[in-house]
Amino acid sequence: METKAETAKETGEDVFEKIYRQNVRSVYYYALRMLGDPSAAEDATHDVFLKAYKNFDRFRNESSPRTWLYRITINHCNNLLKSKVRHYTIELNETDIGQLSDSFDSPLKVVENKDLGEIMQKTLDKLPPEYKAILLLSADENLSYSEIARLTSQTVDAVRGKLHRARKLFIYHFKQANL
């Protein structure tokens, strides 16, 4: 017969496993596109969830598992990226960016036998990390603008503005990469 303690323990681990299954894709994908390497993304995802497990008690105060895990993932990826010195040359100045469209003029077509993953990584790597991060977070339908703002330590208006510019740059580079 199970003791109360054994039941509670099992419930806690079951909860954590459920959180893992529900969120691992989001964490892994964010790490993959930010770090640009599947092996590094796998390591990062493992480290994120291990840290989450060790600090599971602290989660009780967070709004949702998703935002809590994103916070850990963002900090982890930022620390890894800091160690890589990379210079981003934005090929377009602010005036040029302003003239770009922030939406596809017509539905953008991608031939499915092309490696979309490769095109996506090339496109996202053309963006400054801050823009890349905001786009990836924005694509997660479970995150609101205010949550993205909290995760990236800026105001909602700043998020909207950067998202607007990030979309323009993404479309420009995506079309170049998809030629």
Partner 1 sequence: MKEELRKNAGEETQVNLNQVASQARTECQFNTVEDVIRYDAATVVVPETIYRRLEKSISQEKSVQPFWKRWFKRL
**Residue numbers at the binding site for partner 1 (CB under 8 A):** 5-6, 9, 20, 24-26, 28-29, 32, 38, 42, 45-46, 49-50, 53-54, 103-104, 107-113, 116-117, 120, 135-136, 138-139, 141, 144-147, 166-167, 170-171, 174
In the bound complex, what is the minimum distance in angstroms from residue 89's beta carbon to partner 1?
Answer: 21
| Residue whose CB is less far from partner 1, 72 or 85 | 72
Residue 155 CB partners (closer than 8 Å, separation 6+) = 149
CA atoms within 13 A on the CB side of 31: 28
| Residue whose CB is less far from partner 1, 79 or 146 | 146
151-176 core/surface letters (b: 16 or more CB in 10 A; e: else) = bbeeeeeebeebbebbbbbbbbbbee
Ramachandran sector of residue 8 (left: φ over 0; alpha: ψ -120 to 50; beta: rest): alpha
Residue type, 135: L
In the bound complex, what is the minimum distance in angstroms from residue 91's beta carbon to partner 1?
Answer: 18
In the bound complex, what is the minimum distance in angstroms from residue 116's beta carbon to partner 1?
Answer: 6
In the bound complex, what is the minimum distance in angstroms from residue 90's beta carbon to partner 1?
Answer: 17
Give CA 120 to chain center in angstroms. Answer: 13
| Residue whose CB is less far from partner 1, 33 or 85 | 33
| Residue whose CB is less far from partner 1, 82 or 156 | 156
